[in-house]
Amino acid sequence: MPISGKLRGVMASEQEEEAPRAGPPATDRLRVQIRAAWSGVGSPAPPLVSCPCPECTDLEELLRGCDWRSVDRELAERLEQDLPLMGPHTFRALLPAFLLAALDAQSDVGEFLGYSLEPSDFNTPRFEGLHQAQGAAVLAFLRLDLEDCERSNPVYADGPRRAIEEYWCRFEDA
């Protein structure tokens, strides 16, 4: 489910389609929703990673003291492939940085983020602990991705659709 590239198309079409209407485009509303949902979340406490291997130890050192606000687009791009190495509380605490980076038209964040949001024996326990507003923000993010997939490349729509149907739909009423 490669998100990057697809959401850029949504953002470009929103700017063309929604410019005359009042109110921010969907991506701007989603950015506000993500920031609000994680507004009280700070730096995750150690341990930040899942194991003591050298790669995880390096990641732990890099992430120590970081919160989602300090992970800019460039760092999110660099760390996206390390999402599976992050411990569950680290994943939840830093998730908004990756969601926001994926919404950036210049970002390459997407593929590992997409896979990290699909329910599985590994991923689903990492979602537990998100509160209603956070889950609703992820749901809105996946819906935006799904819309774009259905419009631009339907072969990729199965990932976000399955993620929504099998897990994230529980946050519907936030």
pLDDT, position 7: 53
* Domain positions in the chain: 6-16+25-171
Bridge partners for 130 per DSSP: 128
What confidence score (pLDDT) does residue 105 get?
82
pLDDT tens string for the chain (174 positions)?
445 444 544 444 444 443 333 335 889 999 999 999 999 999 999 999 989 999 999 999 999 999 999 999 999 999 999 999 999 999 999 999 999 999 988 888 888 999 999 999 999 999 999 999 999 999 999 999 999 889 988 999 999 999 999 999 999 975
Question: Mapping DSSP to helix (H, G, I), strand (E, B) and coil, where does residue 86 land?
Answer: strand
Token pair, residue 49, equals 């990673």
HSE, CB side, 13 Å, CA atoms: give it for residue 147.
15
pTM for the structure as a whole: 0.86
- Structure tokens of 154? 């339907």
94 and 121 Cβ atoms separated by less than 8 Å? no
CB 76 within 8 A of CB 106: no
CA dist list (Å): 83 to 33, 44, 76: 22, 14, 10
pLDDT at 107: 86
**pLDDT for position 106:** 83
Report the pLDDT value the prediction gives residue 3, as an integer from 0 to 100: 58
Rounded to whole angstroms, how far apart are CA atoms 80 and 172? 27
The pLDDT assigned to 100 comes to 97
